[in-house]
Structure 1
Amino acid sequence: MAKVLVLKSSILGDYSQSSALIGHLMSHWQQQGAQMTVRDLAADPVPVLDGEIATGMRGGDNLSPRQQQVLDLSDELIAELKSHDTLVIAAPMYNFSIPTQLKNWIDLIARAGVTFTYTETGPKGLLEGKRAVVVTTRGGMHKEGASDHIVPYLKTVLGFIGITEVEFVYAEALNMGPDATAQGLLEAKTALDSLTA
């Protein structure tokens, strides 16, 4: 039975198209017996990385209460990620990139010596053997274009921690009129239906 960690990051709540598509995928995979864990990074946000937190992420004996709290949360998020086989990310495009809420999660799980390490030949990810599926929604048409900073960034950062099997599902043109919206969502759902847990 596949264990799937689902990350939602839209700030739009019930109006979120990325969350709706994630729900479609979850229903599809639950029928295949997948076990789902959902973390909504907008409804339950994690702290923004700052100097105090960055220093505390290195650990030590003299951490402030805030540093210890965030370090404990980082440990929890990493343990959660490690305990799942597949990571599903809802990544709506906000100003050509991922939501702040998702970036904050990444900043807390990308930790030297824990999810990646440096070697004589360069960095090495420590979370190998996992798979990621990214569902990305966009108001316009950005796939494979210079304006799409989501795909190269997520490929890079996930690969950096060892997750190199990354699939992207696109829902584009969602603000370009009713017909384009319907077509974009249909294409995304068709792509999601082709995925197995």
Structure 2
Amino acid sequence: MASILHIDSSPRGERSKSRQLAKEFITAWQDRHPDDAIAYRDLRQTPVPHVTEDWIAAYFTPPEALTPEMAELLKFSDELVDEFLAADRCVFSVPMYNFSIPSNFKAYIDHIVRVNRTFSDENGQFKGFANGKKVLFITSRGVEFGSGSPYEGWDAQEPALRYPFQFMGVTDIQFIHANGLDLGDDARKRGLNEARSKIQALVGSW
């Protein structure tokens, strides 16, 4: 039995295509693996606070020197880290906002990239602790970024997602992009159908 962490980040609720696609993946996965445990978090319903100066001060304070107030500031972050590390697989649905990611998912990343929790720093040598974990990002995008597109090279979303998790030691990182959703009915249908085909293929091999 595996443990799956499923996080939605779109603020659009049921109208969100990234949420819909992630739900389709999870439903198909549960059909094949009914004994797997699914932990779910909705960043729309439970927002992750952005880091503050006081939070940063607590972050860089050794555990034995934390005041009760500092420990309280890190409590939610500790919960997110524990949840992330406990999962064998992670499914994150993340829409593209202005060629990158929503601020709520950036805040989530900022709370789980934690020294001595998800990575170590020994004299400038970094080592991630999330080895062996699989991470899937399901995204929705208004335009297309392939060769010949007016926006070729503008994709700042995938690097913003890939590198923090790679830094934490994740080597199995996959993306399913639903592209061209704002380019008319035909492009939207094509983008969703391609994403759904990839979902069905990955469910059988992940």
TM range (shorter): over 0.9
1:183 to 181, 184, 190: 190
CA distance in 1, matches of 2:124, 2:66: 31
Aligned-residue offset at 1:121: 6.5
Aligned-residue offset at 1:153: 1.9
* % identity of equivalent residues: 33
**Mapped pair 1:12 → 2:17:** no
CA distance in 2, matches of 1:48, 1:79: 19
8 Å CA contact 1:10–1:91 kept in 2: the answer is: yes
The unaligned stretches of length 5 or more in structure 2 are: none
Aligned-residue offset at 1:143: 5.1
CA distance in 1, matches of 2:191, 2:46: 29
Q: Which residue of 2 aligns with 1:36?
A: 38
**Mapped pair 1:128 → 2:151:** no
Q: Which residue of 2 aligns with 1:142?
A: 145
What is the CA RMSD across the aligned residues, in angstroms? 1.6
Would you say how many aligned residue pairs link Structure 1 and Structure 2?
Answer: 195
| Deviation >4 Å, runs of 4+ | none
**Mapped pair 1:93 → 2:96:** yes
The unaligned stretches of length 5 or more in structure 1 are: none
Q: TM-score, normalising length from structure 1?
A: 0.93
Aligned-residue offset at 1:152: 1.4
2:67 to 47, 62, 67: 62
**Mapped pair 1:110 → 2:113:** yes
CA distance in 1, matches of 2:113, 2:146: 26
Aligned-residue offset at 1:7: 1.1
Q: TM-score, normalising length from structure 2?
A: 0.89
CA distance in 1, matches of 2:192, 2:73: 37
